[in-house]
Amino acid sequence: MSHTFQGGVHPDDSKSLTNQKPIEQLPPPEQVILPMSMHIGAPCKPIVAVGDHVCLGQRIAEAAAPVSAPIHATVSGTVKAIAPMDHPGGGKMLSVVIENDFQDTLDPSVHPIDDSGMTPEEMIECIKNAGIVGHGGAAFPTHIKLSSALGKVDTVIINAAECEPYLTSDHRILLEQPGDVLAGIRIILRILGLKKALLGVEVNKENAFAGIQALLPSDGSIELVPLATKYPQGAEKQLIKSLTSREVPSGKLPADAGCAVFNADTAGAIYRLFSKGLPMYRRIVTVSGPAIALPRNLEVRIGTPIKNLIDFCGGFTEPPTKLLMGGPMMGVALYTDEAPIIKGTNGILAFAEKEPLHISDPRCIRCGRCVESCPMQLVPTYIYQAVMADKMDDCQRYNPLDCIECGVCSYICPGKLPLTQGIRTAKARILAQRKK
């Protein structure tokens, strides 16, 4: 039996473009661009200077606030610039640019970590120093999630749903690197002092089940749980509901429901830290979409220009009308392919739309599909209408802050209302009012 939640949609997943493509190594670029903001939280501060020689794995930027994560060199070479550069999130961001010497000289700090006598707090400090953040796309610092879960949760959930269309990087990781994932899960369990983890995988990745099951520990501490193929199955709150039947209270976090949720490759990154001493320096990225000549899954150094990935995949079949970082439902539109891969990048998608990108007269036809499909049981059209009419008191009654911005309402709307964008606007206005 596959587990699921109320609401959601079933878009064409288009994963067949890459789900049979093994992970390939993208050659490191001539230079990497490392923005000081690659995570949820405050930007980092550079601790190197132009002209410095740096080694692979060397810390080049320190966290400047409690919610942040340090940044490390992803190649060895010379710091050529510290300046504002294009950022995939939009605009420019102070970045450290390193010219690659192609030696991959490891920093002396990169070595296996003997954690046999460490306390949970000391292990979390190691994860903090390695700059590990969530690999699911949000890039929340992992050390903060672990610290906030200590003594408060009874269930570890590993998110391998990968419900976004086109993306297959996590699927390939489960097929090719299941040992890293499972070893990382065991480390997470040890840190949190728990005996059980649930590994949730959608059934459209069933060909990975046998390899995972062959490596599951005999003590039953990790359970593989099939999930129904539905979007947004991989959203934290929906995954918790699917696997435990618990609901995260409005305005609260997964820890308030007794759960800590980690992406499968986040677990792999934790294992690579303790087994090899490697900080967060690479990502597995799906490059796909109708406008990509040769869709692939690539292992990429963080800081590699997006253009390098596209060129390695044969370039564009035709000029794209839309370039995204992430999936088509929640991805970020890119204005340039010169911006770099960052810690939260799990996909680069290119589309050549055959239909108009803008609808001249979007309108609600009162069909109720957005209400039926909303995984948070909200009324998206009411929120949208209230914020468009600038009736913020009415808007707040419909709980827009509970929206997870999954894009389901916009996807399902036959009237083509930009519901998700309207709810984002409502959330921003409410938070601005509270800040005042």
| Chain segment 181-236, per-residue pLDDT in tens | 999 999 999 999 999 999 999 999 999 999 999 999 999 999 999 999 999 999 99
Tell me what pLDDT residue 406 has. Answer: 95
* Number of residues written out for the chain: 436
Range 344-363 average pLDDT: 80
Residue 137 is predicted with a pLDDT of: 76
* 33's tokens: 């661009």
Do both 156 and 223 map to the same domain? yes
Phi and psi at residue 380, in whole multiples of 5°? -55, -40
The pair of structure tokens assigned to 89 is: 């999130």
Q: What is the domain-level CATH number for residue 186?
A: 3.40.50.11540
71 near 42, Cβ under 8 Å? no
Whether 115 and 238 map to the same domain: the answer is yes
Q: Is residue 360 part of a domain?
A: no
CATH of the domain at 338: 3.10.20.600
Q: Are residues 266 and 118 in the same domain?
A: yes
Sorting pLDDT into bands at 50, 70 and 90, what band is 355? low
**Cα–Cα nearest to 100, from 245, 251, 350, 308:** 308
- Between CA 88 and CA 333 the distance in angstroms is 8
HSE of 414, CA atoms in CB hemisphere, 13 A: 5
Q: Distance (Å, rounded) from C-alpha 71 to C-alpha 76?
A: 14
Rounded to whole angstroms, the Cα distance separating 174 from 62 reads 32
Whether residue 344 is contained in a domain is answered as yes
Let me know whether 214 and 160 are in one domain: yes
Q: Beta-carbon neighbour count of residue 112 at 10 Å?
A: 11
> Per the domain annotation, does 96 fall within a domain?
yes
| Least confident residue range of 112-116, 150-154, 351-355, 384-388 | 351-355
Task: Give pLDDT tens digits for 107-132.
Answer: 999 999 999 999 999 999 999 999 99
CA 265 to chain centre: 10
Q: Is the pLDDT of residue 143 over 80?
A: yes
Omega of the bond prior to 43 within 30 degrees of 0, cis? no
- Examine the fold and report which residue of 261, 276, 291 is the final residue of a domain before the chain moves on: 276
The band of 282, judged by pLDDT with boundaries at 50, 70 and 90, is: very high
- Both 142 and 254 in one domain: the answer is yes
State which amino acid sits at residue 319.
P
Q: Is 180 part of any domain?
A: yes
Residue after which a domain boundary falls, among 250, 276, 302: 276
Q: How high is the pLDDT of residue 435?
A: 85
Report the candidate in 348, 401, 342, 405 with the shortest Cα–Cα distance to residue 139.
Answer: 342
Query: What is residue 4's predicted lDDT score, i.e. its pLDDT?
Result: 87
Average pLDDT, the chain: 95
Asked if the model's pLDDT at residue 17 lies above 70, the reply is yes
Burial (Cβ within 10 Å: 0-12, 13-18, ≥19) of residue 107: middle
Nearest to 34 by CA among 50, 46, 49, 51: 46
pLDDT of residue 138: 82
Q: Beta strands 259-263 and 282-288: pairing type?
A: unpaired
Residues 332 and 393 in one domain: no
Question: How confident is residue 400, by pLDDT bands cut at 50, 70 and 90?
Answer: very high
Domain end marker among 323, 351, 379: 351
Enclosing domain of residue 382: 369-435
Same domain, 149 and 229: yes
Both structure tokens of 271: 């294992």
Residue with token string 């010169």: 338
Q: Is residue 357 part of a domain?
A: no
CA 15 to chain centre: 17
For residue 326, being part of any structural domain is answered with yes
User: For residue range 223-263, what is the model confidence (pLDDT) as tens digits?
Assistant: 999 999 999 999 999 999 999 999 999 889 999 999 999 99
What is the value of pTM for the model shown? 0.94
Spatial contact of 397 and 383, defined as CB atoms under 8 Å apart: no
Residue written as tokens 């999130």? 89
Backbone angles phi, psi at 82, to 5 degrees: -130, 100
Q: How far is CA 5 from CA 70, 185, 245, in A?
A: 36, 24, 9
Do 268 and 409 fall within a single domain?
no
Same domain, yes or no: 298 and 338: yes
pLDDT at 292 over 70: yes
Question: Would residue 4 count as lying in a domain?
Answer: no
Which helix H or strand E contains 349, and what residues bound it? strand 347-351
In a shared domain, residues 312 and 207: no
Domains of the chain: total: 3
Whether 147 and 197 map to the same domain: the answer is yes
Q: Which long-range contacts (CB under 8 A, 24 or more apart) does 352-360 make?
A: 352/290, 352/291, 352/316, 352/317, 352/318, 352/319, 352/320, 352/321, 353/321, 353/322, 357/321, 357/322, 359/416
pLDDT tens for 49-106 read 999 999 999 999 999 888 999 999 999 999 999 999 999 998 999 999 999 999 999 9
Give the pLDDT band (50/70/90) at residue 430: very high
Residues 124, 171: one domain? Answer: yes
408 occurs within a structural domain:
yes
Q: What pLDDT band is residue 1 in, cutting at 50, 70 and 90?
A: low
Q: Across residues 253-282, what is the average pLDDT?
A: 96
